[in-house]
Structure 1
Amino acid sequence: MKSLIKIVLVLSLFTGFYSCQNDDSSSATPDRPYGEVYLEDIEEIEDFLHTHYATIDSEYNVTFTQIPEGGSQQSVWDMPELVKDYEVELHDISYKVYYLNLREGSGENITRVDSSFVSYKGFSFAKTTVDAVDTYTQTVFDSKQNPIWLSLDEVIRGWAEVIPKFRTGTFNPIPNIDGTIDFNDNFGTGVMFLPSGLAYFSTGTLTIPSYSPLVFSFKLHNLRRRDHDRDGILSMHEYGPNFVDDAIDTDGDERPDYIDVDDDADGVLTKTERSFTYLDGTETKTGYYPFNGALVDDPSTPYDDTKGIPSCSNDFTTATRLRRHLDPTCRN
């Protein structure tokens, strides 16, 4: 099975080729309208939630089973303590996303520009009707029982929306003899139900039909903070509240700050603007202010660790200050 990240990369290449075909061939089938497909997807997802019950084992593995005719099992839809939903604005549509919050987790919050260490299983489902009897078939297209790293800004949009609603767990940092890591049982775990517009939409594979809503169960074990532009400021501080669509772009050059080495386009690199010099004994050295200063100064360092990136007026601590790397009138 291909991993989720490999599927994304392959589909990206295929989409580029397909777009070229659209330019040169009148026989290529154009994509269906997003709004039209979404109405079908959300109906299928809600129907699935109404007609299936969930079995959750002690390790938070989830199995969905169709409720038999006359069955008394509680449907997933009727589990308000677990079923959550919210809306995602994309393609001029308000997508409703349902997910099960089996456990939020007790570790760190993850953002849409971090890397996630996750295990997961993904499946599609199809309904057939014979003699007025509906039967659902679930097809698993990818499964990773051993956790792998996935960068949330490089996978399908639905993942980048749902995973940040959970927290990591804790783990023993000392590997076992075989190199594996023991994770405790307080990681975030859930299930997401994604309309195709937040997944692969018109791009199908041998195992994922075109225009197919998808279901992923997942466990968020760990995270890795990223610094995409290597300016020393974590991307989580630079991307803004809402993924790429509303990412912070201070200088308006269509490169969000988290991938822009000169955030305010003043000709001075962001990394340079967060630098300072200090004396270490008789030697002059270069240091770098963190985005936020430490709560307590470390007496072993020859500078004040509580200072974050300052404003042009040397305000180091006010939360709402305009840090100098975002102020084009300020020169380092």
Structure 2
Amino acid sequence: MNKFKYYFILLLAGISLVSCNKSDDDDAVTVPLRDYAVQYKADNDSIIKYLKTNYITVTNSPGTPQDQDVVIKKIVAGDGNVSIWDQKTYPLESRDVYSNDVTYKVYYLTLRKGSGESPTNTDKIVTSYTGTLLDNTVFDSSYGYPRSFNLFPYANESAVFVEGWSEIFPKFKTGTSSTNASSGVVTYTDFGAGVMFLPSGLAYYGQSQGTIPIYAPLVFSFKLFDLQRMDNEFTISTSTGGRIFLGDGVPDYLEDINGDGYLYDFKLNPDKYPNPPAGLVDDTDGDGISDFLDFDDDGDGFTTRFEVTKPTGQVGIVNGVDYGVRLYYPWDPILVDNPLTPNIDEREPRGIPRRPTGALADPGKPESSTNVKAYLPEDYTANPRLRIHLDKTYPIKQN
């Protein structure tokens, strides 16, 4: 009898467990994301506390793999270390970033500015990095090895995108590279290096990633070695729905009309950017599509690529005149060949021209699509000049 009661109790317990599990499955609830503004306030408080209770050590050893390595540790009472917030060696800087209808104040340190060029927030970069949580736990690292990342969030890449990277890397410059002739190993010197402190809204927010919990502010120390200029105009594939990047012949960084180093098109994601600050969009024709994503920058009905294409009779040396070997005009004349590319001659004597200012083909008739003016040498070189792909009055349309 006792055995029967024992097994009966076990049976009831099993039924109870199954019933509970089934109920849990049926009643699964999706937890909504936290309010971005509320979470940002909490993140900002945590980041400021971190900056005031931790100190930084930087290795300055140019020419070695350890150059600009960073170690951040918590201050112990009486150890004499000065907090990141109070230290003066690398003054704490910040940048306002609009996203998720919140204006984030993103703190960062410039350990070294760099000696080369700055990427835009849509370029591809070569960097090494280490990512930590606010308890200084390392969650990811390239271990000093250079890795390539696209800063443009809509690029077709498998890597999970960290929005804060695209906002801070443009504040730095690349370094100088050299390649060992025998081993082929590339080394970098005078590269930019820094540390960024990202609120969760500019990181992974409500998604956990490996050992990173949800709503976690992140710290990245990094070195910016090199960059690749991108040309990001894209179309959507009718078969797959994916993005096909075609470009328009003008790299993104040259379509940064206001020259601030950042390119935005809030039209792509209006829910994320419902009230963008005025002046952040670089849009020549005012059609709501920024030039770096617009196949017709000036809205004149002629694509930008068509307007920056050189006539077929003006490629290479023609009748003793060196027109350059490119099919497309560069932004400005290129007078010196790049010694790092010995198999390619980059020299181009002319840049994208302005509307021609020479004589009409038939001076007795008005200018038209069939009676055009001749280009003068200064039309390709004058600085400044309104280039034809940004001048909606030219080419002249057929009557």
What TM-score comes out, normalization by structure 2 length? Answer: 0.65
Matches within 5 A, 1:262-281: 262-277=296-311, 278=313, 280-281=318-319
Q: Contact conserved, 1:50 with 1:75, CA < 8 A, in 2?
A: yes
CA distance in 1, matches of 2:329, 2:110: 38
Deviation of 1:29 (Å): 1.4
Q: Larger Cα Rg: Structure 1 or Structure 2?
A: 2
Q: Contact conserved, 1:296 with 1:305, CA < 8 A, in 2?
A: no
CA distance in 1, matches of 2:226, 2:348: 31
Match of 1:78, SS state, is: coil
CA distance in 2, matches of 1:307, 1:71: 60
- Long gaps (5+) in structure 1: 1-24, 126-136
Match of 1:261 in 2: 295
What is the CA RMSD across the aligned residues, in angstroms?
3.0
> Which of 252, 258, 262 pairs up with 1:235?
252
Matches within 5 A, 1:319-330: 319=383, 321-330=385-394
Match of 1:15 in 2: none
Match of 2:86 in 1: 78
Deviation of 1:195 (Å): 0.8
> Which of 217, 237, 258 pairs up with 1:213?
217
CA distance in 1, matches of 2:178, 2:97: 36
> Which of 67, 75, 89 pairs up with 2:75?
67
Amino acid at match of 2:252: S
CA distance in 2, matches of 1:208, 1:175: 41
Q: How many pairs are equivalent? A: 291
Match of 1:276, SS state, is: coil
Q: Contact conserved, 2:354 with 2:380, CA < 8 A, in 1?
A: yes
Amino acid at match of 2:140: D
2:187 paired with 1:182: yes
Amino acid at match of 2:172: F
Q: Percent of aligned positions with the same letter in both sequences?
A: 38
Deviation of 1:295 (Å): 6.0
2:168 paired with 1:162: yes
For residues 124-165 of structure 1, what are the alpha-carbon distances to aligned partners after superposition, in whole Å with 9 as ceiling and x for unaligned? 12xxxxxxxxxxx32222111210111111332211111111
Deviation of 1:170 (Å): 0.7
CA distance in 1, matches of 2:41, 2:112: 29
Amino acid at match of 1:281: N
Q: Note closer, same or farther for the CA distance 1:266–1:295 as it changes in structure 2 (3 Å cut).
A: same
Match of 2:244 in 1: none
Amino acid at match of 1:181: V
Deviation of 1:182 (Å): 1.9
> Which of 111, 123, 137 pairs up with 1:114?
123
CA distance in 2, matches of 1:260, 1:30: 35
CA distance in 2, matches of 1:31, 1:162: 25
Q: Note closer, same or farther for the CA distance 1:138–1:252 as it changes in structure 2 (3 Å cut).
A: same
CA distance in 1, matches of 2:166, 2:349: 33
Amino acid at match of 1:143: S
Deviation of 1:255 (Å): 3.8
Q: Contact conserved, 2:124 with 2:151, CA < 8 A, in 1?
A: yes
- Shifted more, 315-324 versus 154-163: the winner is 315-324
Match of 1:198 in 2: 202
Q: Contact conserved, 1:239 with 1:256, CA < 8 A, in 2?
A: no
Amino acid at match of 2:152: D
Deviation of 1:167 (Å): 0.9
CA distance in 2, matches of 1:275, 1:206: 48
Match of 1:183, SS state, is: strand
Q: Contact conserved, 2:330 with 2:348, CA < 8 A, in 1?
A: no
- Long gaps (5+) in structure 2: 1-26, 61-66, 154-160, 234-246, 267-279, 338-344, 358-374
What TM-score comes out, normalization by structure 1 length? Answer: 0.77
Deviation of 1:73 (Å): 0.9
Q: Contact conserved, 2:334 with 2:349, CA < 8 A, in 1?
A: yes
CA distance in 2, matches of 1:165, 1:212: 24
- Shifted more, 238-247 versus 77-86: the winner is 238-247
Match of 1:65, SS state, is: strand
Match of 2:237 in 1: none
Matches within 5 A, 1:286-325: 287-294=327-334, 305-311=349-355, 315-319=379-383, 321-325=385-389
For residues 165-213 of structure 1, what are the alpha-carbon distances to aligned partners after superposition, in whole Å with 9 as ceiling and x for unaligned? 1111111134552x421222x1111100011111111122231111111
CA distance in 1, matches of 2:206, 2:114: 34
